[in-house]
């Protein structure tokens, strides 16, 4: 019954490693997002995909690469992890893309990434 799911929930890794976070939604939504929440709780959008097409790409380092194999999945791959990447990463989805910003975004439970 989970609407937006993320795996893993916790991720602890060493600097320099490459890691992926997976996100899946079973709501039939067209648009998916990745947000980053830093240690001060500030939430900022990173990426948005609409029907597998990238529509928002904020000023995020190239080490972050989203991949959307289908519209129900949006994975986040991070290369060469740095200490500053430690944060909670939230996946979200909404029914419509650029034509429907009024639509509620449903958030996943978050993935707490800790880089040592």
Partner 1 sequence: AQKVTQAQTEISVVEKEDVTLDCVYETRDTTYYLFWYKQPPSGELVFLIRRNSFDEQNEISGRYSWNFQKSTSSFNFTITASQVVDSAVYFCALSEETSGSRLTFGEGTQLTVNP
Contact residues for partner 1 (CB under 8 A)?
31, 33, 35, 40-45, 48, 50, 55-56, 58, 88, 90, 92, 94, 96-98, 100-107, 109-110, 112
Strand pairing category for 73-78 and 87-94: unpaired
The answer to whether residues 92 and 108 touch, using CB atoms and an 8 Å cutoff, is yes
Least distance to partner 1, CB of residue 80, Å? 26
75 vs 94, beta carbon nearer partner 1: 94
Minimum CB separation of residue 99 from partner 1 in Å reads 9
The CA distance from 43 to 39, in Å, is: 10
- Angle CA(32)–CA(89)–CA(115) in degrees, nearest 5? 145
User: Toward partner 1, which CB reaches closer, 35 or 85?
Assistant: 35
* 3 state DSSP class of 20: strand
Nearer to partner 1, 92 or 115 (CB): 92
């Amino acid at each position: 019954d989970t609407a937006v799911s993320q795996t893993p929930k916790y991720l602890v890794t060493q600097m320099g490693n490459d890691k992926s976070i997976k996100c899946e939604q079973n709501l039939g939504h067209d648009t998916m997002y990745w947000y980053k929440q830093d240690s001060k709780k500030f939430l900022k959008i990173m990426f948005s995909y609409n029907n597998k097409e990238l529509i928002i790409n904020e000023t995020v380092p190239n080490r972050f690469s989203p991949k959307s194999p289908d519209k129900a999945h949006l994975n986040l791959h991070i290369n060469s992890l740095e200490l500053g990447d430690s944060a909670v990463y939230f996946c979200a989805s909404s029914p419509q893309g650029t034509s429907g910003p009024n639509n509620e975004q449903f958030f996943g439970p978050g993935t707490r990434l800790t880089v040592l």
